[in-house]
Every structure is written in C-alpha cells, then in structure tokens.
C-alpha cells in the first residue's frame, strides 16, 4: 500500500470521493490503494460518505482492499455502519473476507458503531449476517432507543 505524503494528492482523492467524481477517482486509482495521513483509503472515505457508486467502482478495482484498517483499526464497513449507510454496508458484507465481527482498537464492531449511531436498520442488517443472534439483542435495542 502506498502512502501519499503530498497534501495535493490526498486532498484530490478525498475531494473526488466526496464529489462523486467517478472519472477523477478512476484516474487517482492508478496510484493504487493509497492511504491518507490517518491510514484511511478512498474506499474508507467513500463508505463513510455513503457514496454507493464510488464504493462500487473502488470495489471493482484491482488492489483495493475492502478490509483495510485505518490508524484506529476501523474498516470501511465500520465507517459505513457508524454513519448509517445501509446500502454500502450490504455491498461490503457481500464481499468474501469482510467480517461483520471485526473489532477496532476500541473493541467496537460495526454493529456497535451502528447501534451507538442509532442506525437500527444497519444494526439489523449486520445482525442478520452474524451467527450468535442472542448476544445481539442489546445492540439492536440500543439502536432503537437512540
């Protein structure tokens, strides 16, 4: 993975993702799955912003890691769950190797992020992909209350 130290390249990649500029995102991907100063990739930013088309483009690009972790241990799935982007969560969960039980450095799973954010639909989607349903009830109830 390449770390881009140039503020210009980093700003362009984040701006392209946020603006949903698929052409610019494609051009920037020539550099691969680069990280910003926080260890976040374009996929991480697109997932957090709920940019479905950009997420699809990035997931279809060779070298883009859907399970990459930033400096806090959060994955693109965690960022999407935290912000309540259900369609992005579903896209990511359909990829082999994306683990809905993956904990970040604060020991929070994507389900915990969704529940804390009050995103009951996302919490339910994540819960439906997990095997131990009984342990999930507190998270789902928390999401409904917030």
- Model confidence over 41-90: pLDDT tens digits? 889 999 999 999 989 988 998 889 999 999 999 999 999 999 999 999 99
Domains 1-65 and 74-146 share a fold: yes
Locate the domains of the chain by residue range.
1-65, 74-146
In tens, the pLDDT along 87-145 reads 999 999 999 999 998 999 999 999 999 989 999 999 989 988 887 766 667 766 776 77
Name, in order, each residue with C-beta under 8 angstroms of 49's C-beta and a sequence gap of 6 or more. 17, 18, 83, 85
Token code pair at residue 73: 């241990």
**CATH top class, domain 74-146:** mainly alpha
**CATH top class, domain 1-65:** mainly alpha
Answer for the pair 57, 85: CB distance below 8 angstroms, yes or no: no
């Amino acid at each position: 993975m390449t770390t881009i130290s140039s503020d210009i390249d980093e700003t362009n990649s984040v701006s392209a993702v946020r603006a949903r500029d698929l052409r610019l995102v494609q051009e920037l991907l020539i550099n691969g799955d680069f990280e910003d100063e926080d260890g976040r990739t374009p996929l991480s930013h697109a997932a957090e912003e709920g940019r479905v088309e950009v997420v699809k483009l990035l997931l279809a690009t060779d070298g883009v890691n859907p399970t990459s972790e930033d400096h806090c241990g959060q994955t693109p799935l965690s960022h999407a769950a935290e912000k309540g982007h259900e369609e992005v969560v579903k896209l990511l969960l359909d990829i082999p190797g994306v683990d809905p039980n993956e904990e970040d450095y604060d020991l929070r799973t994507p389900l915990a992020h969704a529940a804390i954010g009050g995103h009951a639909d996302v919490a339910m989607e994540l819960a439906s992909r997990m095997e131990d349903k009984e342990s999930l009830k507190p998270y789902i109830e928390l999401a409904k209350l917030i």
